[in-house]
Structure 1
């Protein structure tokens, strides 16, 4: 990733979610560089993984692939694996209180 691209990504993450690129990468590393719902690895995705957050509380729940992020609640019926992954993902967030505050 080029220097300008990294700067713009860092600026976007700070503005929208209140986290740095370093914090984003740390969270992604904790997820073994995989989507928190379906387990797809970052290297198999053309775009950066998305930051999933609660729009009301501004807490970050995790990092998701483009597919899971865009269809998180809308299209769960289309894949049993994704639905099971979502349940585990949200339960883990509740059990471990891993939400990150977004300013």
Structure 2
């Protein structure tokens, strides 16, 4: 049986190479095959939550960087320069 172009044995090998854990959160079991939606290439095996998060951010690295900046408290905010005039961060 194949899932996303890999066999169950290949999936199990990936999970074993990740010590059975999700490589993103390091807290949950790796159970869901993650793949690039553009190329179909399998990237690894993730937990449900991390796999869903990547999908919800549309596999967009820029969106993920903004999410990281947000979590770290570096929120993107325009600066008021004059009444009704804002400078955007670069």
TM-score range normalised by the length of the shorter chain:
0.5 to 0.7
Alignment map for 1:54-65 (pairs within 5 Å): 54-65=36-47
What TM-score results when the alignment is normalised by the length of structure 2?
Answer: 0.57
Question: 2:48 matched to which residue of 1?
Answer: 66
Q: Extract structure 1 runs of 4+ deviating beyond 3 A.
A: 73-80
Higher helix proportion (structure 1 or 2): 1
Shift of 1:41: 3.8
* Larger strand proportion of the pair: 2
Which protein has the larger Cα radius of gyration, Structure 1 or Structure 2?
Answer: 2
* Pairing partner for 1:31 from 3, 6, 18: 18
Higher relative contact order at CA 8 Å, sep ≥6: structure 1 or structure 2? 1
* Cα-Cα RMSD: 2.4
Partner residue, 1:99: none
